[in-house]
Amino acid sequence: MGTAVDAARKELIGILQTNNKKFIVVFVLGGPGSGKGTQCAKIVEHFGYTHLSAGDLLRAEINSGSENGTMIQSMIKEGKIVPSEVTVKLLQRAMNESGNDKFLIDGFPRNEENRAAFEAVTGIVPEFVLFFDCSEEEMERRLLNRNQGREDDNIETIRKRFRVYMESSLPVIEYYNLKGKVQKINAAQPVEEVFESVKGVFSKVAA
Give me the residues that bind ligand UDP (CB under 6 A), please. 32-33, 36, 53-55, 58, 75-76, 79-82, 87, 107-108, 110, 152, 161
Tell me the C-alpha distance between 138 and 134, whole Å: 7
In angstroms, what is the minimal distance from the CB of 20 to Mg ion? Answer: 30
Asked if residue 19 lies in contact with residue 120, where contact means CB atoms within 8 angstroms, the answer is: no
31 lies in the binding site for Mg ion (CB under 5 A):
no
In angstroms, what is the minimal distance from the CB of 196 to ligand UDP? Answer: 22
Q: Which residue's Cβ lies closest to Mg ion? A: 37
In angstroms, what is the minimal distance from the CB of 151 to Mg ion? Answer: 14
**Residues near 14 by Cβ (< 8 Å), separated by ≥ 6?**
92, 93, 96
Between 132 and 176, name the residue whose CB sits nearer to Mg ion. Answer: 132
E strands in 19-127: 24-30, 50-53, 102-106
Consult the annotation and say whether 161 binds a ligand: yes
Tell me the C-alpha distance between 140 and 41, whole Å: 21
Asked if residue 33 lies in contact with residue 140, where contact means CB atoms within 8 angstroms, the answer is: yes
Q: Which of 30, 31, 37, 126 touches Mg ion by CB under 5 A? A: 37
Consult the annotation and say whether 82 binds a ligand: yes
Nearest to 104 by CA among 39, 154, 159, 166: 39
Q: Give the range of 33-41, 88-96, 143-151, 164-172 binding Mg ion by CB under 5 A.
A: 33-41
Consult the annotation and say whether 36 binds a ligand: yes
Asked if residue 133 lies in contact with residue 36, where contact means CB atoms within 8 angstroms, the answer is: no
- Please give the annotated binding residues for CMP, written as ranges: 114
Q: Which residues bind Mg ion (CB under 5 A)?
A: 37
- Please give the annotated binding residues for ATP, written as ranges: 33-38, 146, 189
